[in-house]
Amino acid sequence: MPEYDDAVVRCFLENQSQLFPEGDVCETEEEAAAFLEENFAVVVSSPKEVMEYFEEEGIDPEGLDEGSVLEADEVFEVGDGRYLIIEG
């Protein structure tokens, strides 16, 4: 199982409403880390890697560029150059 560092866990915990506008799914960092593990969240290092991930998963990137793909609800900017992607 992947380990998610504190920055990634906090990023999801603080921004989860981006993916779940109906209400928070996690209240603590421990719950957030467990949620990320259960949902096979991926951390990548660049917008290019976000695009590659979408392509590998069969998500049609047509019409998307590196800038617009970062606006997808499943993509969270960690704040240190990395991106967290949560499978829908």
Q: Please write the tens of the pLDDT for every residue from 18-30.
A: 999 999 999 999 9
Report if pTM > 0.85. Answer: yes
Quickly state the pLDDT bin for 33 (edges 50, 70, 90).
Answer: very high
Residues 6+ apart with CB under 8 A from 8: 36, 41, 43, 78, 82, 84
- What are the boundaries of each domain within the chain? 6-85
User: pLDDT value at position 8?
Assistant: 98
Q: Please write the tens of the pLDDT for every residue from 64-83.
A: 777 788 988 999 999 999 99
Burial tier of 8 (Cβ tally within 10 Å: 0-12, 13-18, 19+): buried
Q: How far apart are CA 66 and CA 52, in angstroms?
A: 10
Would the pLDDT of 63 be above 80? no
**Residue 75: strand pairing partners:** 85
Would the pLDDT of 1 be above 60? no
User: pLDDT value at position 53?
Assistant: 92
